Amino acid sequence: MLFFAAALALPAASAASVTLEAGQTITVQTITAGGAKITLLRFSDSRCPERAICVMAGNVKASLFVVRGKSARLYTVYLPGVPVQTLAGKVELKAATRGVGQKLRFEVEK
């Protein structure tokens, strides 16, 4: 699992897996010229605690701010959920750790 502590640049590839904490930013290369910056603004975790019996499983909701060129948009992605088409390509929330220093793992597909 990759952990990023600051803004990073990812090489141009078909898909990349990135792990972020709230407030972190990554730069991904896009198919078109230039790249896009993805920032995990905040997230909420309503999943059922481990070893608990719950009526509903809950989910993780993440707010992403994506900037490419002069365009900027806010997106919401969920776990479990489906990929969301963004300015940086398709982004899917794949996993989330629990506890202090919680991290979310995304797959970014161009």
Quick check: is 2 in a domain? no
Q: Is the full-model pTM beyond 0.85?
A: no
pLDDT of residue 71: 94
Whether 79 is covered by a domain: the verdict is yes
Helix (H, G, I), strand (E, B) or coil at 28: strand
C-alpha 107, offset from chain centre: 7
- Asked whether residue 1 is assigned to any structural domain, the reply reads no
Token pair, residue 41, equals 């603004």
CA torsion 67-15-82-72 (nearest 10°) is 0
CATH number of the domain residue 93 falls in: 2.60.98.10
Tens digit of pLDDT at every position of the chain (110 positions): 444 444 455 454 477 888 999 999 999 887 666 789 999 999 999 998 888 888 888 899 999 999 999 999 999 999 988 999 999 999 999 999 987 788 999 999 87
Structural domain harbouring 74: 8-109
Domain assignment of residue 18, yes or no = yes
25-41 residues labelled b (16+ CB within 10 A) or e (exposed)? bbbbbbeeeebbbbbbe
CA distance 79 to 69: 28
